[in-house]
Chains A and B, each alone.
Chain A
Amino acid sequence: MNTIVALIPVFPLLGFLISGVGYRHVPKKVTTFLAPGMILISFIFSFIVFLTFATSHFRYLATSLPHHLFSWIRIGPLDIPFSFLIDPLSCLMLLIVTGVGFVIHVYSVGYMKDDPGFNRFFSYMNLFVFSMLLLVMGANYPIMFIGWEGVGLCSYLLIGFWFKNHDYNNAAKKAFIMNRIGDLGFLMGMFLIFTTFHSLNYQDVFAQAKGMAFGNPNLVAITLLLFVGAAGKSAQIPLYTWLPDAMAGPTPVSALIHAATMVTAGVYMVARSNILYVLSPATMAIMGMTGLATALLAASIAIFQNDIKKILAYSTISQLGYMFVGLSVGAFTGAVFHLTTHAFFKALLFLGAGSVIHAMGGEQDIRKMGGLKHAMPKTYWTFLIATIAIAGIPPFSGFFSKDEILGKAFEFSSLVWLLAVIGSLMTAFYMFRVLFLTFFREFRGTDMQKHHLHESPAVMTIPLIILAVLAAVGGFINIPAIFGGNAGLSQFLAPVFADARAVMEHEAPLAPGTEWLLMGITLAGVLAMSAWAYHRYIIKQLGLLPDDAPRSFAVRLVSHKYYIDELYEAVIIKPTMWLSKMLHEVVELRFIDRIVDGVGNMVVWTGNTVRYIQTGNVGFYMFIMILGIILILFFNILI
């Protein structure tokens, strides 16, 4: 068992090393099979682990013992072993990361086949999977941090994959630096954890935390700092602006990193340290508000975007906001559940978008698409499924996961529920907007594109289909009791969140009646929204306004993403640059260095001045000497 667990991350690493070190010499064909193959193997291993695990008697045992590989940093009390923790949560994440990762690798083989940087791309992708695995498997915060920063690096490398273009490079740099801001929070959180618990291993920390008072300030501080990290990684307000720009990377990257896995790391981390969070209500509140705000903000922006990938990016942000809302109301299972389903349908959406872009020869503006349904049916159907899933229409996966969160939200407060519902309505609207504008109506592209239109090759469509299936049926892993399901996932994850649930005060679960009612309302709204979208874009044929078309102020505000980027530019970046210049040119050169040189110059100047005492005139010398003699005698004798 231990070796198997240890081997899971090794294969992607191997893949990275082979295709990375020998990026010139390894032939394309080898990589074609190597890179996805490695992921597949670690997927199989993860699955084995999962199976040995799902056999319930083994479960509780396994959660309690991390797999210790070697001791990494050890100084007296500070002992950070390099060890992996396998429990239901990390198991689930393993499956998602390796599973979805594999599918996307396969897709990428088709997508990137003509790219000169083929090997480089796959080495990065493997490295990413490796880091992601460390992140989810780590048995203590530092190991998680390794993965945490590792995925950041990979996203930097992959966003800037086509590094000839400086816009892409800037996007990459932006992503890395914003993540780093979060990471600083994470780091400080770790330090505070260490000073509070004198350990960084999950088990010790959580075991001690269990005993601590509700709302203990240290815990609040810790959780807040960690949440800063989560916000950076999972693109929450105020650190979300990097994610839309991150779409500069190749589409599979957006699918894997910026939708399915990396961005959910924050959610994973909070779920992982659930006990700390449930004990610090202040953080929960802040997290909830942030999540909600992000969800609404991003959704509203998404409505007015025209770049297909940007829309999906904003929808990702808003979905992540959902997950944080879920976490904040204590629906840990719900959040993780939504994370899972989201991984499926969002990956699918991106891959679909990718195949569309592929077909359109790089075109990303949905206003220039249309009518692709006939040209590329497979893509269309899969995309449709994904859209329904994300919109939250039963029985597709999105419905169940969203519903769980909403339900918990309602338990928490009806206002939260209301806002969340509004968010999901917007989601439904803009997703259908994309669908209609892209696949319905007449083709609006150039003739050249029209000829070039084609369904993507099998290597790309098969992944689509796989994901489509998952997106469709993914919800069934956790059918709530009300549908007569056994809530498998909740039970599976129960041990992880046991402590948290123990802490949380138990108000009575919703009466079935209310639950049906809520579901009904949401569903009705969603359907209404999609209907309105249909009416607007199919029947009235709207939504093709060029950018320079006159718009109302509110619309302009939203379609410019509330000018947040411009704000940051003005408030943070410009001042920093100015400060840097000012410090160098004024403080450094004009002040500090002047003082240093000044001392030297003063010495030289004095030297140059006093040397003129040496007039060369004997009479003067004698005079001075007599003066000296008189002074000496005067001071020594008369006084």
Chain B
Amino acid sequence: MTTIISLIILGILVLFLGILKKQSWLLPVILTGLIAAMALTVMDWNSVRSFNNGMLIVDHVSVAFSVVLIFSAFLIFSLAAQYYRGVQRPLDDIYGVMIFALVGAVMMTSYGNLIMLFLGIETLSIALYVLAGSHKEAITSNEATLKYFLLGSFLSGFLLFGIALIYGSTGSFDLHQISLYVASCSGIYPTMFLAGLFLLIIGLAFKIAIVPFHFWAPDVYEGTPTLLTAFMATVVKTASIVAMFRFFTLTFNGIHGVWETTIWILAAVTILLGNLTGVYQPNLKRMLAYSSISHSGYMMLAVVAFSPMSNNALLFYTLSYSIATIMAFGILILVREAHGNDFFTSMNGMAKTNPLEAFCLTVAMLSLAGIPPLAGFMAKYYLFTTALEKGLVWLVIIAIAGSAISVAYYFRPIIAMYLREPNGIPLKVEMPYKIHLVFMTLLVILIGLVPVFLVGIL
């Protein structure tokens, strides 16, 4: 609750700053505000309680994931200065909307009622529709936003329909009530209810970008301004997967069996298709889109396993994934700035011109590929452990095969940077940005080396 309120205040503050023409204050205020919000959230750690008779439930899970979300947002905002370097137009609106999107995301992690879930999703989505199109002049940006909007609203219709059906069969939106109902109708569920359940799953699957509801992701990612792509790839994905998992844990605990198979298949297909499609992408941004799809597949492993460990595994995974992805996008921003595109060829010989940046991207890629001792490896390992504990051997083997394939495309930028001849255009990077990149790199390495802090807290 405090998180949401503080963030909303922050958002409004940002808009006011815009009115007061204090563009230069924006980022400092936002960053401090985000840190404050994080601090407030952490303070809620030991106060597990529900607000507005169960509309919002703040528990460890929600707190932890809210922190992850805000932290990712923080990392993304610290890329903003470089990204909008040349831009003259006021940015308060974009930043403001981003923060409101973040509010939506936080709501999705702490909802206790389907209404709140819906509102959270919509807050997030509507904000994102705006953000995706925020680069008005670029046709690609427009296309991206239209695609995202059409598909998004279309699928949220199904989500709503699902909610309606669940309401119809259970008579309540409250997760607790629903779980009671589930418990009551021991094993035999009315068709309407099941239909609602699956439509709800589908609605969330769309947001997480699970095959076959992933189609928006590559196109929208490519068209959207890079900074906001990073936002989509991390914050949105994290929020949605958490929402889905929360939904299962709080409500459908008893009927794991009903949806397990479906999710199993979806996860497998997502991992395979995401990785396979990623192999042949010519540019980094689109490759990252597919990588994010495949990673949502991996995250589904935790959902399928559905064990006490899952929460923690998810937390670990989302965090390490978000950091690495944001790093990648950070470099991507630089490359785009210098070359106007982000084809792998424009990274040739970066190791010679910009050794530091090259190293950062390498670490990010290796972490995403899950190579020890980086964060990505520990995350994957944690996830696989969770899955194998439940005996999902074949799913894990598919995931393994997937990550073997994924090496093929994660290494393309590395090969380009280290093994090809430089094309002579060095990236222009400011010192704070460098520091930020190094900070994230260290984070990735440290999480890999000392994961103790993140393991077993949930």
Task: Indicate if B381 sits at the interface (CB-CB under 8 A).
Answer: no
Known: A621-B216, A628-B213. A607 touches B151 (CB 8 A): no
- Docked CA distance A610–B216 (Å): 16
* Pairwise interchain contact A607-B280, C-beta atoms closer than 8 A: yes
**Interface flags, B136-161, vs A, CB<8A=1, else 0:** 00000000001100110011001000
Known: A614-B218, A632-B202, A633-B195. A624 touches B276 (CB 8 A): no
Within 8 A of B (CB), among A623-638: 624-625, 627-629, 632-633, 635-637
Chain B residue nearest in CB terms to A620: B215
10 tightest Cβ-Cβ pairs between the two chains A and B: A607-B279, A621-B215, A628-B212, A607-B280, A608-B280, A607-B276, A611-B277, A637-B194, A606-B276, A618-B147
* Pairwise interchain contact B279-A624, C-beta atoms closer than 8 A: no
* Pairwise interchain contact A603-B405, C-beta atoms closer than 8 A: yes
Taking the closest CB of chain B, its distance from the CB of A141, in whole angstroms, is: 50
* Pairwise interchain contact B198-A636, C-beta atoms closer than 8 A: yes
Task: Indicate if B258 sits at the interface (CB-CB under 8 A).
Answer: yes
Out of A608, A625, A636, which one reaches B213, CB within 8 Å?
A625
* Pairwise interchain contact B277-A633, C-beta atoms closer than 8 A: no
Chain A residue nearest in CB terms to B143: A616
Report the number of A-B residue pairs with Cβ-Cβ less than 8 Å: 72
Taking the closest CB of chain A, its distance from the CB of B31, in whole angstroms, is: 36
In the assembled complex, which residues on chain A have CB atoms less than 8 Å from the CB atom of B281? Answer: 611
Task: Indicate if A596 sits at the interface (CB-CB under 8 A).
Answer: no
Contact residues of A: prevailing secondary structure: helix
Task: Indicate if A549 sits at the interface (CB-CB under 8 A).
Answer: no
Taking the closest CB of chain B, its distance from the CB of A625, in whole angstroms, is: 6
- Docked CA distance A112–B142 (Å): 94
Cβ contacts A to B, 27 pairs, < 8 Å: A603-B279, A603-B405, A604-B408, A607-B277, A608-B279, A608-B280, A610-B276, A611-B277, A613-B277, A614-B219, A614-B277, A621-B151, A621-B215, A622-B151, A624-B212, A625-B154, A625-B155, A625-B213, A627-B212, A628-B202, A629-B158, A632-B198, A632-B262, A633-B198, A636-B194, A636-B262, A637-B191
Taking the closest CB of chain A, its distance from the CB of B405, in whole angstroms, is: 6
Known: A610-B277, A624-B215. A636 touches B147 (CB 8 A): no
Task: Indicate if B225 sits at the interface (CB-CB under 8 A).
Answer: no
Residues of chain A whose beta carbon lies under 8 Å from any beta carbon of chain B: 600, 603-604, 606-608, 610-611, 613-614, 616, 618, 621-622, 624-625, 627-629, 632-633, 635-637
Task: Indicate if B400 sits at the interface (CB-CB under 8 A).
Answer: no
Task: Indicate if B278 sits at the interface (CB-CB under 8 A).
Answer: yes
**Interface flags, B193-229, vs A, CB<8A=1, else 0:** 0110011011000100000110110110000000000
* Pairwise interchain contact A618-B150, C-beta atoms closer than 8 A: yes
Taking the closest CB of chain A, its distance from the CB of B401, in whole angstroms, is: 10
Chain A residue nearest in CB terms to B405: A603
In the assembled complex, which residues on chain B have CB atoms less than 8 Å from the CB atom of A607? Answer: 276-280
- Docked CA distance A256–B315 (Å): 82
Other than the given A607-B279, A621-B216, A632-B201, 10 more pairs (CB < 8 A) read A600-B408, A611-B280, A614-B215, A614-B277, A618-B146, A618-B150, A625-B212, A628-B213, A633-B195, A633-B198
Chain A residue nearest in CB terms to B216: A621
In the assembled complex, which residues on chain A have CB atoms less than 8 Å from the CB atom of B199? Answer: 629, 633
* Pairwise interchain contact B276-A622, C-beta atoms closer than 8 A: no
Known: A632-B262, A637-B191, A637-B195. A625 touches B279 (CB 8 A): no
Task: Indicate if B273 sits at the interface (CB-CB under 8 A).
Answer: yes
- Docked CA distance A606–B276 (Å): 7
In the assembled complex, which residues on chain A have CB atoms less than 8 Å from the CB atom of B259? Answer: 636
In the assembled complex, which residues on chain A have CB atoms less than 8 Å from the CB atom of B405? Answer: 603
- Docked CA distance A637–B155 (Å): 20
Taking the closest CB of chain B, its distance from the CB of A635, in whole angstroms, is: 8
Taking the closest CB of chain B, its distance from the CB of A638, in whole angstroms, is: 8
Out of B195, B215, B262, B408, which one reaches A603, CB within 8 Å?
B408
